[in-house]
Structure 1
């Protein structure tokens, strides 16, 4: 997975920690990881990731208690 071109969320702070990162694996799959634990990576279809992000934006995904985002 280290050969992938990882991109960080635009909401990532300047310190570089606690960030969501994604990378394109191939035409149909994306890899997602947390910058704090980069070895823990999941692969999902582009369609699944797109659906998840749309759900977050639309408020369909529950936020953790105390979350300000």
Structure 2
């Protein structure tokens, strides 16, 4: 099967560290665009726990539209 270079990748979480030494994650869509950025975490372990919390909560979260 042939895949072009424009084929989309899977969504992913990227873990980053800012200049203050705090960790945060971004949720990147399949098209490469940032769709969410987390709060800052003091440790990488807490950042990873934040990712797991988002992954487990998002599937059952309600949508509240205040518009």
The TM-score range, normalised by the shorter chain, is: 0.3 to 0.5
| Structure ID, larger Rg | 2
TM-score (norm 1): 0.40
Between structures 1 and 2, the one with greater strand share: 1
Return the structure number with greater relative CO, CA threshold 8 A, min gap 6: 2
What TM-score comes out, normalization by structure 2 length? 0.40
